[in-house]
Structure 1
Amino acid sequence: MTARELDAAGITEPGTRAAYARCRALNARHGKTYFLATRLLPADRRPFVHALYGFARWADDIVDTVEADAPANVTPAARREELAALETALADALRGGRAHHPVVTALADTVRRHRLDHALFTDFMASMRMDLTVTAYPTYADLAAYMHGSAAVIGLQLLPVLDTVTPREEAAPAAAALGIAFQLTNFLRDVGEDLDRGRIYIPGDILAAHGADRALLTWCRRRGTTDPRVRAALRETAELTRGVYRRAAVGIPMLAPVSRPCVDTALVLYRGILDEIEAADYPVLHRRVAVPRRRRARGAARGLVGVVSSRVGHRVRPRPVPCGAVSDTPEGSTV
């Protein structure tokens, strides 16, 4: 975390500054697309986005270790205990207690400054617990219930940080849709890796409609090939995901002008993963498809043009309310 970003955000306490720096490092290491897009935000908003992402990344890492690659002490029971400990630490911090991990410290500070609804984090942790026990979703409706907590709430958490020019409740459906679109894209990109974890995020009803199932996916994974039935199911999932992106895109004009280039760039880059998957004919069972560096650079350049345009005549917004002046009790839904 650069000192300029922390200063711009009004984050002055040394321990809290270090906590935000830890979250930024997590973002830079694990979320290259998100990190690139976040660089397009005004400096005073970046630390809070990094805190939200850092917490989500930490929880996700707890539940996503592949069994074959996990250290001997990282058993399913150990992961349940670690996730429960994280949830307890978060609850204590949100009630005003002291956090003993920098990621929780930064998150709790962000929640207080922006008066985020605590229920968004309760729902997120519920979905993380599902990843410890649920290995498949029979229908898209079942998957959507999981994605509410694992993805939609991330978009809703970000809205107060990004700011809107419309009432926040009007922008909320699009913000939730963007989180879901990003996660559906990840599901398509990571089909093979998720199968190694014992999970399938392609809905069972979509697989069955094309004559595919877990056994066929496993067979394709082992053979390094893609059966036409699997390819058809993946194609339908990609088309469904594009529809979610369209619902998400209508929300970008509802954001504060200085936040639009960041979100638009993230949308373009992530939707580009779908383009690459389709162009490669859905090889996701045996390799991870990525957007070429040149295309990412074009997307970033486009975002920079948007940044310049949005900041012409932009007045610096008031800094977030200092933590000590904000009640820890949520004021109701922020969305």
Structure 2
Amino acid sequence: MISSFPWESVGIEHDSAWNETLARYGRSFWLASRFLPRETRHHVTTIYAFFRHLDDIADTGRLEPQLAETMLRSWQAWLVSHFATPVPNPSLARAVARVYTRYGLPAQYACDLIDGLLDDLFPRRIRSHSELYHYCYRVAGAVGLTLAPLLGVHCRPGLSAANALGIAMQLTNIARDVGEDLRRGRLYLPIEDLARFGVDPSEVERLANEFRPPDHRLQAVIRLQVARARQFYRQAIRGYPCLPPRVRLAIIVSAEVYGAILHVIERNQYDTIRLRAVAGYDDKAAALLRAWKIHRRLSRGGNCPCPSFGIA
């Protein structure tokens, strides 16, 4: 999920407050957002704030599951009603409704996100890689698909890439947070992957509770998730030409900086049971350089090369 961020303590109308708090709690997002035009950055941050708020309801553990479910369903009803029903945070709702209305953003993706978050309220296990991808679409791909029209992406390849980038980032989260998720009663490593390498789910839960490192079998399972994440990052790259030049660098930076977490996981010998992989200064500097090179290479191509900007 999106990294923890206390939006309730931030005035939703104050861009400077967002920037200060983003720099502290959402560092990768903040860094990438610096490369967006100011107005676009403000609107993207508003939508990020909305999704961060939803994610915090489900993921911080501050709320009883039944209360969290009620709050999430109230937001879902608000989306379905085209912003007509009451919600727990009216100031956030007003700001979000303005952005949705201005850009004609589809509400269905946020409803799908909420469905994914509702599933996270209680202990869960993912059975197969297809179930994993569906979960990643809900909690991350749907975010990319919501933001795409705001960023000026409307063609089918561009939307497919937006979904792929969200899935790549969520798979990165899953590979990074194995121990942390298990200690919260969540096992996102697919059961079929564990079985393929001869790992019983109870073994993984025991390792997490005892803060013990993974053996070679579990390392192989985590390595597989890293490989899958990279596959989706590569799919996202295909959509870079569909991004308007004024926002392209920001999205490439976002992908490269977040993808750098995978390098840290590898350096840590796939021990995400005890260790949290965090990209350091050198990792981010290298990611920025890669992003700039990709951006420069694409800058010769101009605007979206698709025959039509329409989805059909």
TM-score (structure 1 length as normaliser): 0.78
Q: Are 1:59 and 2:48 counterparts?
A: no
Q: Are 1:40 and 2:35 counterparts?
A: yes
SS of the residue corresponding to residue 285 of structure 1 reads coil
Q: Distance in 1 between matches of 2:294 and 2:134?
A: 35
Match of 2:147 among 158, 179, 192: 158
Q: 1:213 to 1:110 in 2, by over 3 A?
A: farther
Q: Are 1:260 and 2:248 counterparts?
A: yes
| Structure 1 residue 253, shift from structure 2 partner | 1.4
Give the structure 1 partner of residue 3 of structure 2.
none
For residues 220-242 of structure 1, what are the alpha-carbon distances to aligned partners after superposition, in whole Å with 9 as ceiling and x for unaligned? 22142212111111111111111
Match of 2:203 among 202, 216, 222: 216
Match of 1:245 among 216, 233, 239: 233
CA contact (8 A) 1:139 1:205 kept: yes
Q: Are 1:191 and 2:178 counterparts?
A: yes
| Structure 1 residue 302, shift from structure 2 partner | 6.0
Q: Are 1:206 and 2:160 counterparts?
A: no
For residues 51-97 of structure 1, what are the alpha-carbon distances to aligned partners after superposition, in whole Å with 9 as ceiling and x for unaligned? 1211111111111134xxx4xxx3222222232333344445x3356
Q: 1:280 to 1:65 in 2, by over 3 A?
A: same
CA contact (8 A) 2:123 2:184 kept: no
CA contact (8 A) 1:19 1:105 kept: no
| Structure 1 residue 309, shift from structure 2 partner | 9.9
SS of the residue corresponding to residue 18 of structure 1 reads coil
SS of the residue corresponding to residue 124 of structure 2 reads coil
CA contact (8 A) 1:90 1:104 kept: no
Give the structure 2 partner of residue 170 of structure 1.
157
Q: 1:239 to 1:307 in 2, by over 3 A?
A: closer
Give the structure 2 partner of residue 319 of structure 1.
none
Q: Distance in 1 between matches of 2:146 and 2:186?
A: 26
CA contact (8 A) 1:159 1:172 kept: yes
Give the structure 2 partner of residue 102 of structure 1.
91
Q: Distance in 2 between matches of 1:174 and 1:310?
A: 16
Match of 1:49 among 31, 37, 44: 44
Give the structure 2 partner of residue 87 of structure 1.
76
Q: Distance in 2 between matches of 1:20 and 1:118?
A: 24
Q: Are 1:281 and 2:276 counterparts?
A: no
Q: Distance in 2 between matches of 1:23 and 1:157?
A: 20
Give the structure 1 partner of residue 283 of structure 2.
295
Q: Who wins on radius of gyration, i.e. which is larger?
A: 1
Q: Distance in 1 between matches of 2:124 and 2:260?
A: 28
CA contact (8 A) 1:162 1:259 kept: yes
Give structure 2 stretches of 5+ with no counterpart: 1-10, 303-309
Give the structure 2 partner of residue 124 of structure 1.
113
SS of the residue corresponding to residue 85 of structure 1 reads helix
For residues 83-118 of structure 1, what are the alpha-carbon distances to aligned partners after superposition, in whole Å with 9 as ceiling and x for unaligned? 2333344445x3356764332222211111110111
| Structure 1 residue 134, shift from structure 2 partner | 5.5
Give structure 1 stretches of 5+ with no counterpart: 1-15, 315-332
Q: Distance in 1 between matches of 2:256 and 2:243?
A: 16
CA contact (8 A) 2:252 2:295 kept: no
| Structure 1 residue 250, shift from structure 2 partner | 0.8
Give the structure 1 partner of residue 7 of structure 2.
none
CA contact (8 A) 2:78 2:84 kept: no
Q: 1:178 to 1:214 in 2, by over 3 A?
A: same
Q: Distance in 1 between matches of 2:211 and 2:107?
A: 46
Q: Distance in 1 between matches of 2:16 and 2:85?
A: 21
State the number of aligned residues. 292
What amino acid is the match of 2:29?
A: Y
| Structure 1 residue 181, shift from structure 2 partner | 0.1
| Structure 1 residue 27, shift from structure 2 partner | 3.7
SS of the residue corresponding to residue 286 of structure 1 reads coil
